[in-house]
Amino acid sequence: MYQTVIVIDFGGQYSQLIARRIRENHVYCEVLPWKTPLSEIAAKNPLGIVLSGGPDSVYAVGAPYTDERIFSLGVPVLGICYGAQLMVKELGGKVEAAESEGAREYGRTETIFSEGCPLFSGVPGRSVTWMSHGDYVSALPKGFSVCAQTEHCPAAGFQAPSRRLYGLQFHPEVRHTEYGAQILRNFLMEICGAAGDWDLSDFSERTIRQIREKVGDKRVLLALSGGVDSSVASVLLSRAIGRQLSCVYVDHGLMRKNESETICRYFGSLDMDFHMADAKDRFLRALSGVSEPEEKRHIIGREFINVFKEEAAAIGGADFLAQGTIYPDIIESGQTGGQVIKSHHNVGGLPEEIGFTEIIEPLRMLFKDEVRALGRQLGVPEEIVSRQPFPGPGLGIRVIGEVTEEKLETVREADALFREVIAKFGLAGRIDQYFAVLTDMRTVGVMGDARTYSRTVALRAVCTDDFMTADFARIPYEALEEASRRIINEVSGVNRVVYDISSKPPATVEME
Q: Residue ranges per domain, the chain?
A: 4-191, 203-385, 398-499
Residue 479, C-beta contacts closer than 8 angstroms, at least 6 positions apart: 421, 422, 424, 425, 427
Torsion of CA 90, 94, 97, 102, to 10 degrees: -130
Interatomic CA distance for residues 432 and 475, integer angstroms: 12
- Measuring CA to CA, which residue among 93, 76, 110 is closest to residue 184? 76
The C-alpha atoms of residue 225 and residue 322 are separated, in whole angstroms, by: 12
Alpha helix (H) residue ranges in 101-202: 180-185
Q: Do residues 107 and 174 make contact, with C-beta atoms less than 8 angstroms apart?
A: no
Consecutive 10-residue averages of pLDDT for the chain (512 residues):
90 84 91 92 96 91 93 96 95 83 72 94 94 86 95 92 95 92 97 90 87 93 88 92 91 93 83 90 96 94 87 84 81 49 45 68 86 91 83 93 97 97 94 96 87 95 83 97 97 96 91 90
Nearest to 164 by CA among 201, 94, 199, 117: 117
Q: Annotated active-site positions, please?
A: 81, 171, 173
CB 81 within 8 A of CB 38: no
CA 71 from centre of chain? 30
pLDDT at 257: 93
CATH class name, domain 203-385: alpha beta
Q: Report d(CA 78, CA 86) in Å as an integer.
A: 11
Q: Cα dihedral sign for 37, 38, 39, 44?
A: positive
pLDDT of residue 365: 79
Write the burial class of residue 69 (CB in 10 Å: 0-12 exposed, 13-18 middle, 19+ buried): exposed
Q: Three-state SS for 343?
A: coil
Q: Does domain 398-499 have CATH number 3.90.650.10?
A: no
Specify the CATH superfamily of domain 4-191: Class I glutamine amidotransferase (GATase) domain (3.40.50.880)
Matching CATH topology for 4-191 and 203-385?
yes
